C-alpha cells in the first residue's frame, strides 16, 4: 500500500508539473514601431530570437517609398549584413533594395558546409533609411525563410512593424511661435 501511495504521488507530480514548451523562433523589426523626424536618417534592424542551427536566411519586406527611402552609401544601397549574428564565421551576404517599389531583400549563408549553424538571438541585417515624407508606413515581411545545414526549413513567427515620420522639431517650434504672434496681433487690434 505504501508503494502504491508513493507511485501515485510521483505520477501526480509529473501530471501537475507542466512540461516546458520549446520557444518559437521569431523574426521582427527593431524598433517595431519606430519614428524619426523628416529629413533625418534612421536604422532599422531585422532581429531573430531563439533560433537553433541557422545556416541560411532569405528575408524580404516592404515599406512606403513616399515615407521612407533606402539611404545610399559608397557601395550602393545601405543594407548591412548580419550585424554580427554569424560572428567570425565565413559567410556570404546578398542584398537588394528598391526605392521605387519600396522593397528590401537580404540573404546570408555560412560558407562552410560542415558548419553546424548558428544558434541564439541577434541582428540578421540592418537597413539605413532616410525619412522623406510625413506619415506612417507599415513594415511588412513579404517572405522569411530560414534553413538549417541540412536545408530543412526552420519554422518561425514574424512580427511586422510600422514607422512614422513626424515634422522636424524646429519647424513645429517656428509654427508655434508664429501662431502665438498672430494671436498677439489679433488681440492688439480688437
Q: Tens digits of per-residue pLDDT, 85-101? A: 776 677 888 889 999 99
Structural domain that includes position 73:
25-170
104: three-class secondary structure by DSSP: strand
Percent of the chain with pLDDT over 90: 55
CATH code at position 114: 2.60.40.680
Q: Tens digits of per-residue pLDDT, 139-153? A: 999 999 999 999 999
Please give the average per-residue pLDDT across 174-182, as a whole number.
57
Q: Measured between alpha carbons, how far is 176 from 184 in angstroms, rounded to an integer?
A: 12
Grid coordinates representing 79 are 543594407
- The domain total for the chain is 1
Number of C-alpha atoms within 13 angstroms, CB side, residue 25?
20
Q: Report CA-CA distances (Å) from 89 to 115, 151, 171.
A: 9, 18, 47
Residue 103 binned pLDDT confidence (cut-offs 50, 70, 90): very high
Strands 41-54, 26-30: pairing is: antiparallel
For cell 522636424, the residue is 168
Residue 21 binned pLDDT confidence (cut-offs 50, 70, 90): low
Query: Nearest-5° angle of CA 78, CA 56, CA 96?
Result: 25
Res. 102: pLDDT tops 90: yes
Q: Measured between alpha carbons, how far is 44 from 171 in angstroms, rounded to an integer?
A: 25
89 within domain boundaries: yes
Residue 111 binned pLDDT confidence (cut-offs 50, 70, 90): confident
What's residue 190's pLDDT?
57
Q: 103 pairs with which residues across the strands?
A: 62, 98
65 within domain boundaries: yes
9 within domain boundaries: no
Q: 16 pairs with which residues across the strands?
A: none
Of the ranges 46-55, 59-68, 167-176, which one carries the lowest mean pLDDT score? Answer: 167-176
Q: What's the pTM value of the predicted model, to 2 decimals?
A: 0.76
Amino acid at each position: 500500500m505504501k508503494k502504491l501511495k508513493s507511485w501515485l504521488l510521483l505520477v501526480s507530480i509529473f501530471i501537475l508539473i507542466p512540461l516546458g514548451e520549446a520557444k518559437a523562433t521569431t523574426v521582427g523589426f527593431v524598433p517595431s514601431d519606430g519614428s524619426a523626424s523628416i529629413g533625418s536618417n534612421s536604422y532599422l534592424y531585422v532581429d531573430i530570437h531563439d533560433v537553433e542551427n541557422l545556416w541560411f536566411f532569405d528575408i524580404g519586406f516592404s515599406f512606403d517609398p513616399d515615407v521612407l527611402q533606402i539611404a545610399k552609401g559608397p557601395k550602393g544601397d545601405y543594407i548591412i549584413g548580419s550585424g554580427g549574428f554569424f560572428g567570425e564565421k565565413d559567410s556570404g551576404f546578398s542584398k537588394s533594395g528598391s526605392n521605387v517599389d519600396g522593397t528590401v531583400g537580404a540573404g546570408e549563408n555560412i560558407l562552410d558546409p560542415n558548419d553546424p549553424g548558428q544558434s541564439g538571438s541577434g541582428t540578421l541585417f540592418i537597413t539605413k533609411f532616410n525619412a522623406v515624407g510625413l506619415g506612417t508606413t507599415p513594415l511588412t515581411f513579404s517572405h522569411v525563410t530560414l534553413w538549417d545545414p541540412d536545408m530543412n526549413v526552420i519554422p518561425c513567427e514574424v512580427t511586422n512593424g510600422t514607422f512614422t515620420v513626424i515634422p522636424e522639431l524646429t519647424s513645429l517650434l517656428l509654427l508655434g511661435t508664429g501662431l502665438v504672434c498672430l494671436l498677439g496681433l489679433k488681440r492688439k487690434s480688437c
